[in-house]
Every structure is written in structure tokens, then in C-alpha cells.
Amino acid sequence: MSTDSSAKDEIVVQGISASQGIAYGQIFVYLQSKVEIPAYRVGPDKRIDEIARFDKALLVTRQQISKIQAEVERTLGKNEALIFDAHLLVLEDEALISETIREFETTGLNIETCFDTVSKKYIQAFSEIDDEYLRERAGDIRDVAQRVLQNLLGHAENSLSQLVERRIVVANDLSPSDSAGINRGSGMAIVTDSGSRTSHAAIVARSMQVPAVVGVRDLSNRVKTGEWALVDGYDGIVILNPSEDTLFRYGKIQTQKKSVEIRLLEANRQKAVTLDGVEVALMANIENVEEVAHVKEFFAQGVGLYRTEYLFLNASRIPTEQEQFLAYKAVVEGISPNPVIIRTLDLGADKPMTSDPGLFPKEDNPFMGSRAIRFCLEHKDLFKDQLRAILLASHHGKVKLMYPMISGIEEMAQANGVLEECKAELRQRNQPFDEVLEVGAMIEIPSAAATVDILAKQCDFFSIGTNDLIQYMLAIDRGNDRIAHLYEPAHPAILRTLKRIVEDAHRMEVPVGVCGEMASDPVYAPLLLGLGVDSLSMAPRLLPAVKYLVRAMKMSDARDLAVEVLGMASSGDIYAKCVQFHRSRVAFD
């Protein structure tokens, strides 16, 4: 690591870790210029030409995005190129286009002004959605709108592709087009004022395998191009004007991290077996067929959670039964002979389909509203299309079906009743499916956690969704910055609840897995296993760290850890004990 010095004081800025790694170099501040839009009236004799100009701008924008998508697929891969499907869908959104033309016909103002007015309404609407993933989609509309306006005004295309020297890119935010335009040999790290772990900048950074830190507030206004900085993508830190001592320390950290990653990947090729001979099932969470390759790359023992809602969220219309079947079949065949747990739709007011917003009326508290299984039972035809598609896919590999947000036995019985109707319909069609398909439920609501022994009578397995379970039990909105610090997986109430879930399920001979974030954290994974959890499921790239720990511990020690922390009263003390357990078994020299 270079040791260029600076007379300026060292400044440490805390952000959010979005892509792991360490980079040191000069900053390039990318300032996205806002398009200045002139407003003027268009005469009646020129209105046809004005609409034609709008159509041409949409066509040119579509061509530009398709070109970017092809380049991203060539350099980064097909999965990363899927980001731009949402952009192309914006350009095909009949509501956005027709509303722009209606605004033009009503006001008589130039088409740029009308399009800007309408697109800002859409951006504002998406920005106010509670769900983080969908909130990020406001950036899709903003990016496309910027391109359309540039083309209408005859401005040059905005891009980072001209960056040739290796630089740390610092910006207020990076649109997908901006991110994709970064030359892989030039962009050594990405830092943004806004954004989250699900932002496009973060996604592209992880694909490029460069460190990224987001959420550093107004950093782009406080630094200048050419200044020196160190980006710590592990802890989400940006250090401006790092001292020689800091550079030396991070040089050692970087060498150690690379060594650790190599050792983790080497160990990941081995079976997940503890030192006392207990084999642990480690599975993967996925959202689409492109991730099947990652499941295999990281040696997962199947898919513990296939989130099907993303097939709906990015669609211009509701997918048909056949379209869903083909998507599920591709995943099932790709994972075979290992199992795939397909979760039915977790849609609702906080995850509305843009293709049919009428299905999702505004709710004051969407996290406790009509979502997931509640939504599906309200829209039985849509639910049956999905259930039949999953059943048909079960003929092509090992499939298990799982319902989200089950609150009690009544909902479970209703859902299974609809499933039986679908089975009867497929038998009548003479279409084969797995007649002994296993059916399970997500345990993520306190009422379900308290009645696991009752639910077990209609379930073949359970999967604990710790993200929502913790949120609901502690009455904490994870998206609320003021109280997010209270979100505490080590809270005694959470651990006691997990223990009860496992004990009640096992007493009924029903296996229990965990597919929430706790499962992917090497600090908490031993505790979950010590509590008796049968399997852990996580993002594929997080598997090596968990598997390494499993292979470095004894299951008997994990059980002792669980007994010890269950007798503790402080979340902080419990977490410290889990960290101590982890560090004593995973000590990299």
C-alpha cells in the first residue's frame, strides 16, 4: 500500500458497508449535473411534432440503455445486467407515457416540462414506500427520466466511462447507468452520500469486487478531486488524508483479510461437519434463476428460501401460471438433486406490484397490513396460479412449499385448503406433480411462535424468519433511524422464543431452519445451532465464513453456549459471549 503523505489532518467518516475490501487512492468527485428545463408554450400547429419528438427521445433512450445492458452483461455478467430490465420497463410504462401526453394536451407546455412534472410524481411516490428494495427503485425512474430529458434537450450522455486513471469515485448517488459506466480498471472504490446495501451502486461494486461505502451523508460536498482517501468496505469507513500509521495498519489488515478469504474458500469445499462429527445443513437464499450458479459455486446444500415475489415486482404485468412454472422449473432443475424451498408471495402494501397498483391500497401500517399470506388468501385466483406453478415444478426436482407470515392454524388451514384445490385441478388436467410435496410455514409473527405445537399438526417443516420476528417482538421499525439501534437479535426475549420454537417443533418431530440474517452471522450461527436449529440458510457469498466456523467448533460447545446465554439478562453480555465463542475458534494469524 502506498505511503503518500499529506499535511492535512486525518478525518474518519462512518458510513454503511456495502461491498467488502480496502482501497487507497485519490478521489474523483462525480457531480451529476441537473438538467435545466426551459418552459414554454407549444402552438397547436406544432403539437404533433412535439409528441413525435417525445417518441424519438424514448426510442433513443431505450437504445442507450440496451447498449449499456449488453456491455454490463459482457463485462460483469447476466445477473448484473438484469438491473436494467427495470429501466426498460419504465420506458414501456403506459401510465407514465400517457400521463405525460395528457399533461401536454392539458397545459400546452413543452414536452420536457410535462415529462419532468409527471416523472417527479412517480419518483416521489416510490420514495415514500416503506420497503427498502422498492424505495431504491425510485432511482430507476430518476435515472431514466434524466436520460429522456437529456435526449429531448440534445445534451451529451452523462457517463463515468471516460474515467481512465484509478480513482475512488465519490458521489451524492450513482444511478445504475453511472455505476455501469465505471471502467473496471479505473474505479477502485465507490463512496456515495446516500444509498443502502441494496442500492445499485452497492450491487455493481460487489459485482466488480471493489469496496464500497454508502450513506456518508454530504461527503461529496466536503472533498475535492485529487484528495487522498482510504476506503474500508469491511467496517463502512472512509478515512480522508490517512496518516502513515493508518496506512501501515490497513496494509496489514488488507494482507490478513485476503489470506482469510483464501482460507475460507478452501474450507468451504469441505463438508459442514463439526469437530465432534455433527453435520450441519447450510443452504442458500435466492431471488432468481441467475443465482443458481452462486448456490453451486459456494457449495450450498440446496435453497432454503426462494423469494418468488421478485418475479412479480419487476414485471410489467402479473406473470401467468406458465411463466411462473418455467421460472421455478429452471431453479429446481438447476439445484437438483438438492432441495428448493419455494416461498409463496410475500407481497403487500409495502411491496406493491407496479404493474397493478390497484391491488395495493395505501395502508397506514403496511408491515401489519394486507401482505404475504393475507394478500394471497384475499386474491385467491392469483394465489392458485402460483400454487399450481409450484406444484408443476415439483415434478422436476425436490421442491418444498412454504407460506410466509402465518399467524395461526386458521390461516394455515385456509392456505392448505387452496393447495388441495390446486392439486385436484392438476389431477383433472392429468399434469404430474409431487403428491407428497412437503409444506411448511415461516415463523416470523409472535402468535405463530407461541403456537408452533398447534401449527406443527399441519406443517412438515418450519423456517424462522428472524428479521421480521425480531422486529415484531421488540416493536421496532428497522427502517426508522431513531430506533434502529434497538433492533437486537441477542435480546433475551428473542433467544427464549427461539428456544421454545425449536423445542415445541422437535417434540412434534418437525424440523426447524433459520433463513433470516442471524443465520448468516458467524457470531450468532453457533448459538442458533446450540439451540437445536436443524439448518441455516443465507446469501450464497456468506456461506464460507459460517461453514469455516462450523468446522472449527464442537456442537457440544455450541449447546453449552446456548445454555449459558439463556441464563443471562443483558443483550450486551449475551452478544459479548457469542463474540468470545467465535473469536476463540476462528483465530487467523
Catalytic residue IDs: 200, 515
Do the beta carbons of residue 147 and residue 61 sit within 8 Å?
yes
Q: Are 307 and 285 in contact (CB under 8 A)?
A: yes
Using CA atoms, how far apart are residues 548 and 483, in angstroms rounded to an integer? 33
- Show the cell assigned to 266: 478452501
Hey, which residues does 462 pair with through a beta bridge? 441, 512
Sign of CA dihedral 336, 338, 343, 344: positive
Q: Tell me the C-alpha distance between 473 and 1, whole Å.
A: 46
CB 101 within 8 A of CB 54: yes
Q: State how far the Cα of 227 lies from the Cα of 12, in Å rounded to an integer.
A: 14
The 167-171 sheet, strands edge to edge: 11-14, 237-240, 228-232, 22-30, 167-171, 187-192, 212-214, 16-19
For residue 447, give the amino acid letter.
S
Q: At 465, is the secondary structure helix, strand, or coil?
A: coil
Axis-axis angle for helices 543-552, 244-268 (nearest 10): 80
Distance CA 487, CA 181 (A): 37
H-helix segments, 243-320: 244-268, 292-297, 310-313
Block residue for cell numbers 472504490:
189
| Cβ atoms of residues 165 and 185 within 8 Å | no
Contact 509, 460 (CB under 8 A): no
- CB-CB contact of 405 with 445 (8 Å): yes
